[in-house]
Amino acid sequence: MTLNTTAETETARIARGLRERDMELLADLVERCQHRLVRYLLYLTGRRDYAEDLAQETWVRVLQRGSQYNGRQRFDPWLFAIARNLAIDYLRKKGKAVQTALPNDRDAMLLLPSSGPSPFEAAARSEDAIRLAGQLQILSPLYREALLLRFQEDLSLPEIAQVLGAPVTTVTSRIYRGLAALRSAFEEGGDSPEL
Amino acid sequence: MIRLNCDKKFRELIDRSFVEEVSEGERQLIHGHIRDCDGCKRYVELTARTIRGLREFTFTPDPDSKAQVREILADHAGTMRQHNVQFKIWAAFAVALSMSFVGSALVYQVTKRLAVPMHFDTAQLQAGVLIFWLLPSFCAALCLLAAPRENRGIA
C-alpha cells in the first residue's frame, strides 16, 4: 500500500514536472534513465551510434511532449515507447528500410539486419554472455527488444505491450521465441531457429 | 531420459514460470517433474542460464552523454520559451486590438446618448471617439509589439 502510494506520488510528480517543463526534474530523469535508454536503443537498432543519437532525440521529444504523460503509468514504459517510435522513423529516414511485403507495418522496419560491429560482444561480461552475443546479433530486433524489456528492464508484460504497441500475447510469443533462439547457443550442436 | 509425451506441456509451463507468474502449485509441479525428467531438467537449466547470460551484458555508458543531453535540453527549452513568448505577445496584441474596436463601439454608443443634451452632431462624436479612444487604444496594442523583448511584462 505504501509502495503503491509512493509510486503514484512519484509518477504524479514526474507528470507535473514534465507539464511545467521543470529542467531540474528532466536532468534528474536523464541521470536515472539515460543509460537504460541507450541500452534499449542499442538492442533495438544494433548500432551504438544510432542509439546515442536516438537517445538525445528521445529526450527532446520528452521535453516537447511531456504534457502527454498522464502519470498513471510508470515513466519508463512511456519513455521507451517514444524511443521505439523514433527509432522506427529514424531507421526509415536513414534508408535502412526497404519496401517489404508489408510496407505499412512499422515493425517491419526493425526486421532489417543491422550492419557494423556487434555492440553485444563488446558488452558481454561473462563467458555465457559472450556465447549469447553472437546469437543476439543475428536475432530479430523484435525478439531482442522484448527480451531486454523483460529480463533487463524487468518490465511487466502489460508494460512491454504498452511500449511495443502490441497485445500481451504477441509480447509473450516474442519472448518465448527469443528465448528459444538464445537457448540454442548453449545446446551442443544445436542449430538456432531462424528468426 | 527424456519423456517425450510430457515435453511440450511442461516446457510451456517452464517457459511461463520464467516469463510470467505461475501459481505455487504449478511451481511445485515443475519441481516434482524435473526430479524425474532429465530433458525438462536440462531445459530449465538452459533457460535459467540464458536469462542469467542476458543480464550479464553491461554497456559502458559514454561519460559525456548525460551532459550532452542536458545541454541539448537546455537549448531546446530556451528556444521553446522564446516561441512561447512570441505566441503570447501576438495573442495579447490580438486581444488588445479586438478590445480596442469593441470598446470603441461601446464608447460611441454611450457617448451618443450622453451627448444628446449637449447638441453634438454625429461627425463630432465619431471624431471624438476616434481621437480620444480608438487611436490611443490602438497605439497601446501596437506598443505590445514594439516594446523590447525583455521589457514585455506579459511573458
Domain boundary assignment for chain A: 2-183
CA A42, chain centre distance (Å): 8
pLDDT score at A117: 54
Give mean pLDDT, residues B75-89.
84
Cα–Cα distance for residue pair B73/A59, rounded to 1 Å: 7
pLDDT tens digits along B29-73: 888 888 888 888 888 999 999 999 988 888 877 778 888 899 999
ipTM value for the complex: 0.74
Q: Does B70 touch chain A (CB under 8 A)?
A: yes
| Residues near A110 by beta carbon (within 8 Å), at least 6 away in sequence | A44, A87, A88, A91, A140, A141, A142, A145
Question: For residue B96, is it left (φ>0), alpha (ψ between -120 and 50) or beta?
Answer: alpha
Of residues B84 and A101, which shows the higher confidence score?
B84
Please tell me the distance from the alpha carbon of residue B140 to that of residue B93, in angstroms, as a whole number: 9
Q: Is B132 on the interface with A (CB under 8 A)?
A: no
d(CA B93, CA A150): 53
Residue count of chain A: 195
pTM of the complete model beyond 0.90: no
Strands (E), chain A: none
Dihedrals phi, psi of A124, to nearest 5 degrees: -70, 130
Taking an 8 Å cut-off on Cβ atoms, the answer to whether A55 and B65 are in contact is: yes
Return d(Cα B92, Cα B90) in angstroms, integer.
Answer: 5
d(CA A37, CA A42): 8
Give dist(CA A90, CA B152) in Å, integer: 40
Look at B18 and A179 and tell me if their CB atoms are within 8 Å.
yes
Among the four given CATH numbers 1.10.1740.10, 1.20.140.10, 3.40.50.300, 3.90.1150.10, the one describing domain A2-183:
1.10.1740.10
Which of A 87-146 lie inside 8 A of B, CB atoms?
A: 119-120, 123-126, 128-129, 131-133
Q: DSSP of B14-59, one letter per residue? A: HHHHHHS---HHHHHHHHHHHHH-HHHHHHHHHHHHHHHHHTTB-P
> In angstroms, rounded to a whole number, what is the distance separating the alpha carbons of residues A79 and A33?
9
Residue-wise pLDDT tens digits, A29-66: 999 999 899 989 988 888 888 888 999 999 999 999 99
B146 vs B141: CA distance, rounded Å: 9
Interchain pair A60, B76: CB under 8 A: yes
